[in-house]
Chains A and B, each alone.
Chain A
Amino acid sequence: GQQVMQIPQYQHVQEGEDFTTYCNSSTTLSNIQWYKQRPGGHPVFLIQLVKSGEVKKQKRLTFQFGEAKKNSSLHITATQTTDVGTYFCAGPRANNLFFGTGTRLTVIP
């Protein structure tokens, strides 16, 4: 069945360092979505990418959708303590959204 894997599973960075998480799907996706879940919180929608090779930016966050529409990445420049949380990618499968395994980001002040 469809699998969406993310690497790394965990990442510890010093505040100010950059961070990247990668998302890989076993199948081609019509779109990819990214969510952030703060510790003890719920997933919050960040962005949706639809086009092959698409790149979108939100302040310090850069999202990219691969040319084959099977992988994606999220890059955070100069991390801040407010970036702490787990970042999930998610892709559609039938009538549901299938979440990746997530990358838990810890930012050390």
Chain B
Amino acid sequence: ETGVTQSPTHLIKTRGQQVTLRCSSQSGHNTVSWYQQALGQGPQFIFQYYREEENGRGNFPPRFSGLQFPNYSSELNVNALELDDSALYLCASSLEQGASRGGYTFGSGTRLTVV
């Protein structure tokens, strides 16, 4: 049990569809970061949310968007799904914005398959 909960655990979508992934951060953590991990690769940073605002973004197109709610939970939305979007999507919560103190607590991830 990591304290970070992601849903759903697995998802199969068709190319062109839209998907929403959800994340509940660990208690006391106010920052949520989302990562995409393709098979055999390291996690790639998508974006970070702090106090309900986007606080940094990686090299992902605008069809990747997100939200953070007052209770610090977060959503990742992907529009116009492409086959290459198939990956493990990881949510990580942390005590503060950035990555300077402490470590990230990752959820178990959502395995997205686009067919």
Contacts of B50 in A (CB 8 A): 95
Taking residues whose C-beta sits less than 8 angstroms from the other chain, chain A's interface range is 20 to 34
Q: How many residues from B make CB contacts under 8 Å with A? A: 29
Contacts of B81 in A (CB 8 A): none
B103 lies within 8 A of chain A by Cβ: yes
With CB as the reference atom, state the residue of chain B lying closest to A89: B42
CB of A30 within 8 A of CB of B106, answer no
Q: How many A-B contacts at CB < 8 Å in the complex?
A: 73
Show the binding face of B for A, using Cβ within 8 Å: 2, 33, 35, 41-45, 48, 50, 55-56, 58, 88, 90, 92, 97-109
Contacts of A100 in B (CB 8 A): 42
Show the binding face of A for B, using Cβ within 8 Å: 30-31, 33, 35, 41-48, 88, 90-102
Instruction: Say how far B112's CB is from chain A's closest CB, in angstroms.
Output: 15
Give me 22 A-to-B residue pairs in the complex whose CB atoms sit less than 8 angstroms apart, sorted by A's number: A33-B103, A33-B104, A42-B90, A42-B106, A45-B103, A47-B103, A88-B42, A88-B43, A92-B99, A95-B50, A95-B99, A96-B33, A96-B56, A96-B99, A97-B45, A97-B92, A97-B104, A98-B45, A99-B43, A99-B45, A101-B42, A102-B41
